[in-house]
Structure 1
Amino acid sequence: MSYRGFARQLLSPALLGLLLCAGVAQAALKPPEGYLVPIDKVKKGESSKGCPAVPTPYTQALQFRSKYEGSDKSRSTWNADSDKAFRDATHDIFAMETGTARLVMQFMRDGRPAQLDCTLGWLTTWAKADALMSQDFNHTGKSMRKWALGSMASSYLRLKFSTSHPLADHPQEAQVIEAWFGRLADQVVSDWSNLSLQKTNNHTYWAAWSVMATSVVLDRRDLFDWSVGKFRTGASQVDAQGFLPNELNRNTRALAYHNYAIPPLAMIATFAQANGVDLRGENDSALQRLGRRVLAGAKDPSSFQQKNGKVQEMTELNDTRKWAWLEPWCTLYPCDGDAMAHKRNGEPFKSFRLGGDVTKVFDPSHDQGEGGGDDSTEAPSADDGA
């Protein structure tokens, strides 16, 4: 007789249920299956691109000017001077985010040992410097911290979980990098906890995504549970028509910010699903409703204008790269019509904030050609910054 069969004879149904649930809760966290794929091919020799210089680790105060400096409470009026100051001050952080994604994509495509050495060299350099850990920060600074963690941890996931086991011969580097990720995640949790609903918006969702990616890297249930909790808060904010009230407050950029709020929520839901937590139905399928509202808004933004009285700025929505969230979203809900059209029109999606090769992870059947195109990810956009 099996252990479970024997246990059923000896234990009450209630106690047995608690024990079995405890066993499930202890299962190691894992990413969606697309992160387990092996390296495409192993090429010999050095890459012609070599190893780029590591961006200077950012260890200064995380005090940055906002691109919306001088705007009213809607935070929707762009300030060119302050945006330039922000870009200049955060140059190395953005370079680290985009560069890490690019290096991982190159290695997962070509499998050259030197590419892996380069990637780990970048990450260990920043980890040993304890970069991005300053306790002197403002809102824009803590925003950069969580964005950077999400970018790096979600790229690193592909190295951590690939069935090619590229990290097997690099235990010391992995230990240093992962310990740093853990410190960053703990700080992000501190930065974005205990906010009122009025202050809980896309920033909190992106913080939750960075913590979710890190929770799986480190197999930390406390981080996983925090992220799931923030998803549920986000889902509870979606109204019956699919609007997010705090993003409607962004005036002419309300639709763009609805679109910007979806990617982290969709990623969290797919990672939760991979670990036995089904978030698709939260608040009457809020994530599906939100996605449909944005898709409808892209086709006809009048519903957003009717809701907040502002003609919508459509530049961001016309950028096909801004629809990368459809890859995870379409694994959760039926994907046809406008959703599929936007998805096929933009593929293959590569987003550094979502870990690089989004299409390759979530829709590997999509024909990406030799190498899946180039290794570029979308440039930092008007939504970056705070």
Structure 2
Amino acid sequence: MHNPILKNLLAPTLLCSSFLGLAMFAGATQAAAPLRPPQGYYAPIEKVKTGDGNDGCDAMPKPYTGALQFRSKYEGSDKARATLNAESEKAFRDSTADITRLERGTSKRVMQFMRDGRPAQLECTLNWLTAWAQADALMSRDFNHTGKSMRKWALGSMASAYIRLKFSDSHPLAAHQQQAQLIEGWFSKMADQVVSDWDNLPLEQTNNHSYWAAWSVMATSIATNRRDLFDWAVKEYRIGASQVDADGYLPNELKRQQRALAYHNYALPPLAMIASFAQVNGVDLRQENNGALKRLGDRVLAGVKEPGAFEKKNGKEQDMTDLKEDMKFAWLEPFCTLYTCSPEVLAKKHAMQPFKTFRLGGDLTRVYDPANEKGNKGS
């Protein structure tokens, strides 16, 4: 610019434009900040052992590429879907055995690898996941309700275990980038299908299954750094939170008659995990619907102590079988980082630790409360 008068006249405009450009760039940079998990997922490998010991790789479960048409364990039950059918449950377990082996095996070996760093455990896990990814497993569009449920459970199990590897400060995937790319591509494609399976359901059909679908998509969003998946999971969380009534009940879980309390408890793990992951990425969901998650958690804990409130609510004596398993309360780990838990609840949590559940990616106590990790309970 050679005209000094024109240059002086335009200087403020140019300066404003420069600041505006910088502000827009900063805003874009902030918006594009990589998605990340809670801090505990960055934990390094505890100790590195080079020998394989007795931890050789088991035979890989056969990649499941067939139709996702499975019998329900509640087959023949009325609309409450609360009475187990032993025959159909066995048929379900048998037909999904390879999928469950992949879920459990992935979680177990990732936990073992994060403890002792044996290369065989990492290679086994990645080889299994790579083979299933290459086979395009679990992607069938021929599915029933139980089949699409199995797909989202499996995705949540695998993706939430995988992020332990992806984000660890030990960087175990650094030498396995090609496999990581294949696995993450498969997770990403499966998450798109899960969104298609569970999106925009009528409220009367939106229950714990939708929350678990949202959890699988949230875990995948972190593993693949996809903001669209993150946003969908948050949207589904908000729908779930909106269903919690003023007394902490979920109307669609109350329909489960004698299993209503158990299903209220079962709704909590995915919701608590989504809220925990959202918070670390700048989205605070704790006060959605006037603290719905806290209200639901408190209602369940009160119900475990005195299930009569649920019986009074829906007229059915509650089946407490599932609620005798410590790992069913794994949601307490993220929950007690989101909210201030009472000394009584913390004592209950500590008595049940460590919480190990493959559907949430393994050892949640090591992630959320490592100072109190002990023993080898859980699955």
Does 2:126 align with 1:114? no
The count of corresponding residues between Structure 1 and Structure 2 is 367
1:381 corresponds in structure 2 to none
From 355, 359, 371, the counterpart of 2:361: 355
Distance 1:286 1:19 in 2: 36
Secondary structure in 1 aligned to 2:371?
coil
Distance 2:55 2:227 in 1: 39
Does 2:244 align with 1:214? no
- Displacement of 1:20 in angstroms is 5.1
Contact 1:40 1:108 (8 Å CA) reproduced: yes
Does 2:167 align with 1:181? no
Structure 1 residues 14 and 66 mapped into 2: Cα distance closer, same or farther (>3 Å)?
A: farther
Please give the residue correspondences for 1:15-164 in structure 2 after superposition, counting only pairs within 5 Å.
21-164=27-170
Amino acid at match of 1:181: F
Please give the residue correspondences for 1:189-228 in structure 2 after superposition, counting only pairs within 5 Å.
189-228=195-234
Unaligned runs of 5+ in 1: 1-5, 379-386
Structure 1 residues 19 and 170 mapped into 2: Cα distance closer, same or farther (>3 Å)?
A: closer
Amino acid at match of 1:44: T
Contact 2:64 2:137 (8 Å CA) reproduced: yes
TM-score of the superposed pair, with normalisation by structure 1: 0.92
1:312 corresponds in structure 2 to 318
Contact 1:147 1:353 (8 Å CA) reproduced: yes
Secondary structure in 2 aligned to 1:74?
coil
Q: Deviations over 1:120-150 (max 9, x none)?
A: 1111111111110011000000000000000
Distance 1:329 1:122 in 2: 32
- Displacement of 1:115 in angstroms is 1.4
Q: Deviations over 1:235-288 (max 9, x none)?
A: 000000000000000000000000000000000000001101000010001000
Please give the residue correspondences for 1:277-296 in structure 2 after superposition, counting only pairs within 5 Å.
277-296=283-302
Amino acid at match of 1:148: A
Q: Deviations over 1:17-76 (max 9, x none)?
A: 876544322100000000001000101211213111111111110000001111111100
Distance 1:367 1:298 in 2: 24
Amino acid at match of 1:332: L
Structure 1 residues 73 and 14 mapped into 2: Cα distance closer, same or farther (>3 Å)?
A: farther
Contact 1:154 1:214 (8 Å CA) reproduced: yes
Sequence identity percentage: 66
Q: Deviations over 1:193-232 (max 9, x none)?
A: 0200000000000000000000001100000000000000
Larger Rg: 2
- Displacement of 1:340 in angstroms is 1.4
Structure 1 residues 118 and 240 mapped into 2: Cα distance closer, same or farther (>3 Å)?
A: same
Distance 2:373 2:259 in 1: 34
Contact 2:55 2:121 (8 Å CA) reproduced: no
- Displacement of 1:342 in angstroms is 2.4
Q: CA RMSD in A?
A: 1.9
2:242 corresponds in structure 1 to 236
- Displacement of 1:339 in angstroms is 2.0
From 322, 336, 340, the counterpart of 1:334: 340
Does 2:312 align with 1:300? no
Distance 1:170 1:161 in 2: 14
Secondary structure in 2 aligned to 1:282?
coil
